[in-house]
């Protein structure tokens, strides 16, 4: 079985976001970049499937050179090789096109990625890749098991979940609790240094969207404190002042 | 050239988020000097379909093939793409939902569309086609320039407040060719909470964290939620501990909500939790620790014991 895991390099979840260059770029100063948390779940499940069923796991990142520490970490966790498409991943269609171009040649049985990247939160790339390859896409996937050419999948829906069955190949957007995050061990870190990382240039069309500028939310007004022994006043204020109930 | 809106059904009725999407789409149509067409898929009666007119749609395309009775992101996107082609639509609007998320991407692939997800305002057409969207899980916004011929906008809840008129929409049956390849996923079982207010759709949310001390104490959260007609939610630790189901987990790696009112009880307010709730209109924080960081992001705060405060709020709502 051949598994492709697509990963993003994104600011750590605790990052206080700030912009620079007249609000046209993320201020990367002091920001720690990590593997997208959802992508990490996808990778962990891919490595588990490799151990259980035997599979090759390729990691793919559409990103610039500064994403390489994240890619090496994925190799240390257990991926066999990696590909980086040398381009800024700012447009979902463009990113999907890069993944689809690589997947068309290599014929993967499973293409896994996070349900969304935690920077743009579009949650669209898996679906577009599925459409481009003419194969089903499912997201967000909470459980995944493979037997032969068939996948058993649990997908989260609003207020619940559904159990699905589908034949490979598939594109899946993953989330917890599909697997436990894996931490690379020393042996993994050592071998990751020599695992192949291929860098390819992007193909296809120009980007269909571009971010003109960024903005931070306006700060909330100061908090109005209510004494615990007068808690009932809150309901009054929500009715008459905030007018939300 | 009309603006096309995918209007989602729930038990044969237009979802509230879809009414917002129709109103939003009709506003965009006004800006572009065209009309708004809604595409509805699944079983619904004509009066319900015509009610799309109250929110600004002039026409409803109704795809009611029996194969479409169960929501299916791939098949539904095929239907919407066919509708977009028939109507020569250059703008397609959807309200974010679990079904719409699955459709939006497939649709973008089919139509080679410029796509903006989590849109929170009407577009600015003064120079091209620019839309504001929420990014970094609500920690920032982006102004996106959509440069493709076809544009898809997936709007967040509470992006716009619909104003209703007495108008009705004309209803046309729409029967595009369906692809067998869209029906290859078998749904074996569906588990869905019934009777409760669904969290992503809820106007009011009562959420609780580890301060509740255990799942056996959730009745006081549920009582307040019930009195208010609110959905219940929880923090990540609570979901990780299996005190509450994962679909109630609100935060950066869980559900992102934007209700009118978010009440957080016994949640300290880690930045990852705030990311999932900071687009709520009004935030109330109840915590016994006056230093809890959540108070800094709240509109109203009570420093107190949740086991005392929550039941008193419930009684106040009930007017007792």
Do domains B3-183 and B199-318 share one topology? The answer is yes
Structure token digits, residue B33: 């000097």
Given a cut of 80, whether residue B215 has pLDDT beyond it is yes
Under 8 Å between Cβ of A184 and A73: yes
Residue spans per domain, chain B = 3-183, 199-318
The answer to which of A1-10, A68-77, A98-107, B252-261 has the lowest mean pLDDT is: B252-261
Structure token digits, residue B175: 């029967």
For the domain made up of B199-318, give the CATH fold.
Answer: Rossmann fold (3.40.50)
Does B255 show up as a binding residue in the annotation? no
Tell me which residue in B97, B190, B260 faces A160 most closely, judged by beta carbons: B190
Does B109 show up as a binding residue in the annotation? no
Write the CATH number for A158.
Answer: 3.40.50.620
CA distance A198 to chain B (A): 27
The sign of the CA dihedral B16, B19, B23, B26 is positive
Residue A73 located in a structural domain:
yes
Mean pLDDT over each residue of chain A, to the nearest integer? 95
Identify the bridge partners of residue A215 per DSSP, sorted by sequence position: B141
Report d(CA A212, CA B84) in Å as an integer: 27
Above 0.85 for ipTM, yes or no?
yes
Chain B residue nearest residue A216, CA to CA? B140
Given a cut of 90, whether residue B320 has pLDDT beyond it is no
Over residues B145-171, mean pLDDT = 94
Given a cut of 80, whether residue A184 has pLDDT beyond it is yes
Strands (E), chain B: 3-7, 9-10, 13-14, 36-41, 59-63, 91-95, 114-119, 130-135, 140-146, 151-155, 170-173, 186-192, 204-208, 231-234, 261-265, 282-287, 300-303
Given a cut of 80, whether residue B193 has pLDDT beyond it is no
Residue A115 located in a structural domain:
yes
Q: What's the confidence (pLDDT) of residue B254?
A: 86
Q: How confident is the model at residue A159 (pLDDT cuts 50, 70, 90)?
A: confident
**Containing structural domain, residue A80:** 2-217
Report d(CA A101, CA B177) in Å as an integer: 28
From chain B residues 155-184, the ones with a CB under 8 A of any chain A CB are 181, 184
Q: What's the confidence (pLDDT) of residue A206?
A: 79
Q: How confident is the model at residue A54 (pLDDT cuts 50, 70, 90)?
A: very high
Residue A226 located in a structural domain:
no
B-chain CB neighbours of A206 within 8 Å are 147
Burial of A29 from C-beta contacts in 10 A (0-12 / 13-18 / 19+): exposed
From chain A residues 187-206, the ones with a CB under 8 A of any chain B CB are 205-206
Q: How confident is the model at residue B195 (pLDDT cuts 50, 70, 90)?
A: low
Q: What's the confidence (pLDDT) of residue B158?
A: 86
Phi, psi of A96 (to 5 degrees): -60, -40
CATH number of the B3-183 domain: 3.40.50.620
* pLDDT tens per residue, range B267-290: 999 998 998 998 899 999 999 999
């Amino acid at each position: 079985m051949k598994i492709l895991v697509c990963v993003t390099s994104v600011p750590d979840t605790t990052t206080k976001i700030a912009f620079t260059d007249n609000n046209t770029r993320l201020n990367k100063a002091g920001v720690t970049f990590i593997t997208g948390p959802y992508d990490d779940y996808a990778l962990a499940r891919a490595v588990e499937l490799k151990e259980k069923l035997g599979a090759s796991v390729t990691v793919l990142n559409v990103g610039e050179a500064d994403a390489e520490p994240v890619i090496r970490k994925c190799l240390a966790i257990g991926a066999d090789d990696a590909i980086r498409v040398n381009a800024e991943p700012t447009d979902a269609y463009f990113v999907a096109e890069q993944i689809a171009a690589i997947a068309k040649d290599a014929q993967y049985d499973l293409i896994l990625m996070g349900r969304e990247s935690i920077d743009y939160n579009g949650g669209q790339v898996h679906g577009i890749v599925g459409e481009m390859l003419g194969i089903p896409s499912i997201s967000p996937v909470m459980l995944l098991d493979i037997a032969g050419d068939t996948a058993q999948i649990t997908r989260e829906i609003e207020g619940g979940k559904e159990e699905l069955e589908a034949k490979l190949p598939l594109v899946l957007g993953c989330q917890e609790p599909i697997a436990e995050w894996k931490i690379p061990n020393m042996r993994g870190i050592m071998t990751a240094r020599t695992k192949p990382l291929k860098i390819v240039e992007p193909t296809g069309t120009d980007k269909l969207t571009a971010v003109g500028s960024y903005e931070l939310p306006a700060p909330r007004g100061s908090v109005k404190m209510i004494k615990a022994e007068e808690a009932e006043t809150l309901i009054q204020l929500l009715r008459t002042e905030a007018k939300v109930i | 050239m009309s603006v096309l809106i995918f209007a989602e059904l729930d038990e044969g009725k237009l979802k509230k988020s879809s009414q917002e999407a129709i109103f939003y789409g009709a506003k965009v149509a006004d800006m572009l000097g065209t009309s708004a067409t809604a595409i509805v898929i699944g079983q619904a009666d004509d009066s319900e379909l015509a009610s799309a007119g109250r929110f600004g749609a002039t026409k409803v395309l109704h795809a009611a093939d029996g194969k479409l009775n169960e929501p299916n992101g791939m098949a539904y996107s095929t239907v919407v793409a066919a509708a977009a082609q028939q109507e020569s639509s250059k703008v397609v609007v959807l309200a974010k939902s679990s079904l719409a998320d699955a459709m939006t991407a497939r649709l973008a692939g089919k139509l080679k569309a410029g796509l903006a997800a989590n849109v929170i305002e009407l577009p600015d057409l003064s120079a091209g086609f620019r839309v504001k969207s929420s990014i970094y899980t609500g920690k920032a916004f982006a102004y996106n320039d959509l440069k493709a011929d076809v544009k898809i906008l997936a709007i967040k809840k509470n992006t716009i407040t619909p104003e209703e008129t007495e108008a009705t929409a004309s209803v046309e049956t729409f029967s595009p060719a369906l692809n067998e390849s869209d029906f290859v996923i078998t749904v074996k079982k569906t588990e869905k909470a019934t009777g409760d207010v669904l969290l992503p759709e809820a106007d009011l949310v009562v959420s609780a964290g580890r301060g509740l001390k255990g799942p056996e104490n959730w009745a006081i959260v549920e009582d307040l939620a019930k009195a208010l007609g609110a959905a219940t939610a929880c923090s990540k630790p609570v979901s990780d501990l299996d005190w509450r189901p994962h679909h109630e987990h609100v935060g950066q790696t869980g559900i992102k909500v934007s209700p009118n009112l978010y009440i957080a009880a016994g949640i300290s307010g880690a930045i990852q939790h705030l990311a999932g709730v900071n687009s709520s209109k009004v935030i109330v924080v109840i915590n016994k620790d006056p230093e809890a960081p959540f108070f800094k992001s709240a509109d109203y705060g009570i420093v107190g014991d949740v086991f005392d405060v929550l039941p008193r709020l419930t009684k106040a709502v009930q007017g007792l």
